[in-house]
Amino acid sequence: MGARSPGRVRGARLLTRPIPRRGPGQRPAGGRDDRLNRPPRGGRPAIDPAREAAYEAVAAVHRDDAYANLVLPGLLRETGVTGRDAAFATELTYGSLRQTGTLDAIIAAAADRAVERIDPPVRDALRIGAYQLLHMRVGAHAAVATTVDLVRSLVPGAAGFANAVLRRVAESDRAAWLERLAPADPVARAALVHAHPAWVVNAFADALGSLDEAELALDADNLPPPVHLCARPGLIGRDDLAASLRGATAGRYSPFAVVLAGGGDPAAIPAIRDGRAHVQDEGSQLVAEVLAQAAITGPDERWLDLCAGPGGKAGLLGALAAQRGAHLTAVEVTHHRAALVAKATDGLPVYTINADGRDVGKDPDLPEGVFDRVLVDAPCTGLGALRRRPEARWRRQPSDLPPLTKLQRELLQAAFRAVRPGGVVAYVTCSPHQAETEVSVTEAARRSSIEVDLVDARPYLPPSLPETGTGPTVQLWPHRHGTDAMFIALLRRGPG
């Protein structure tokens, strides 16, 4: 392996402040709905811990802006829920959150009132009750009775209302509800049927050029994604890693990807614990590989990742850089995420800086015109990774776009300043929204005084990867490639 140095984080700006410690399941102060701890009244059965954990996770998402993937594991531990019960609670939580908009439309019709007019704890309980009725193989009696018990423990006076609403929901199956409520407008219909906001449906349809295909992409968002590992090149082979894990298989496209069989905690895998592999979607691996493989002439030693946190792509790029005797500067503006980058790249030739990537030319560690390869994995709406974040589609708003696209363009222009003439920049988003992809690239290039040319990214992707379009940029999709919807544009700085 080439030059190795420990992952470093530049001193003062990072190390003077302690890293806030908050356990993954820990909720903000005052977060938990203590009403759940009330004993059941009137000899009613206690709430079963799996449903209690699911309710509490859904409520924390809506009440505290928590993230389900962070809050649920702690709740399962706290309530002692494991095995099949944990799988039940996970499906109930993630499914209820993904389907929120559609469940709300059905609950509103069954309750004959807008969901905004239902007390929040009752509304969240009804969501998980309706999800059991319409999406899971839970008997109607059990789904209604357990949810009414839950509501009684939360808001005793609302138990009768919850019972009436859920009985009405149970009168029809999901298909019949959708048939009854579906609007005539095709986008609004797709939004209801596939449980996404209409602006996201429009964004997918624009990027794909077809509402029919967008519906396949929306459907793919509603399935739990497989867990992919990245076998770090030079440290462990993909096939060796796959062979060491029961049921794991080599990924379809990335030379480093391993697909885990369901279940198990990736953090417990020895190769992950000792830094020879990390968890990373295959699409993220592919776009990092495009940057590393893009043809350049001249030196190939100084690589830059301008938006590195939490360090997934920096981990892969650092391992690739080590094989070539190159080194990577990894920049991250958020303090605690910079610390994550340093941890993720420990032992690799990666120098982590807690700085603003737009400060190229101002920050002494970010000089202009010297880097051979530069990655801008830009902050974005994340609409391409909705499979992983069940609540994200309802939280994101079109109003998030203007500040994000402004930042994306500024970071990309900083990358143009950082790269040397003849070097390459990869601009990546985990969003297919065209304002964040094609338009951000075109606008950044148009407003830059530095000459850059778009380079066809497709030759640097595996030939087996289907449907990469007409170039020069590439948009991956869950329903086409089984990856997150990553976008990549490759640009080369002109000689001037």
Ligand X SMILES: C[S@@+](CC[C@H](N)C(=O)[O-])C[C@H]1O[C@@H](n2cnc3c(N)ncnc32)[C@H](O)[C@@H]1O
Binding site, annotated residues for S-adenosyl-L-methionine: 307-313, 332, 359, 377
Q: Which of 347, 379, 478, 482 binds ligand X (CB under 6 A)?
A: 379
Rounded CA gap, 324 and 379, in Å?
A: 28
Q: Which of 129, 275, 312, 349 binds ligand X (CB under 6 A)?
A: 312
| Least distance CB 350 / ligand X (angstroms) | 12
Distance from first CA to last CA of the chain, Å, rounded?
Answer: 35
Query: Which of 55, 460 has the CB closer to ligand X?
Result: 460
Q: Both tokens of residue 38?
A: 């009330």
**Count of residues of this chain found to bind ligand X when the rule CB under 6 A is applied:** 21
State yes or no: residue 332 binds ligand X (CB under 6 A).
Answer: yes
Query: Which of 178, 308 has the CB closer to ligand X?
Result: 308
| Least distance CB 251 / ligand X (angstroms) | 17
Query: Which of 205, 304 has the CB closer to ligand X?
Result: 304
State yes or no: residue 7 binds ligand X (CB under 6 A).
Answer: no
State the binding string over 340-369 for ligand X (x if CB under 6 A, else -). Answer: ----------------xxx-----------
| Helices 83-98, 49-64: inter-axial angle, 10-degree rounding | 30
How many Å is the Cα radius of gyration of the chain?
A: 24
Output the CA torsion 112→114→116→118 (10° steps): 0
Strands of 289-360 (E only): list them: 302-305, 327-332, 350-354
Contacts of 254 (CB under 8 A, 6+ apart): 228, 230, 282, 285, 286, 289, 462
State the binding string over 385-414 for ligand X (x if CB under 6 A, else -). Answer: ----------------------x---x---
Output the CA–CA distances (angstroms, integers) from residue 353 to 17, 330, 335, 424, in the order listed: 14, 6, 9, 21
Which residues are the active-site residues?
A: 430
Q: Give φ, ψ of 40 to 5 degrees.
A: -65, 145
Contact between 450 and 402 under an 8 Å Cβ cutoff? The reply is: no
Query: Which of 242, 380 has the CB closer to ligand X?
Result: 380
Angle at the Cα of 241 from the Cα atoms of 4 and 231, rounded to 5 degrees? 40
State yes or no: residue 308 binds ligand X (CB under 6 A).
Answer: yes
Q: What counts of helices (H) and strands (E) characterise the chain?
A: 21, 13
Q: Which of 49, 310, 390, 423 binds ligand X (CB under 6 A)?
A: 310
| Least distance CB 378 / ligand X (angstroms) | 6
State yes or no: residue 333 binds ligand X (CB under 6 A).
Answer: yes
Q: Which of 44, 77, 324, 337 binds ligand X (CB under 6 A)?
A: 337
For ligand X, the binding residues (CB under 6 A) are 284, 306-313, 331-334, 337, 356-358, 377, 379, 407, 411
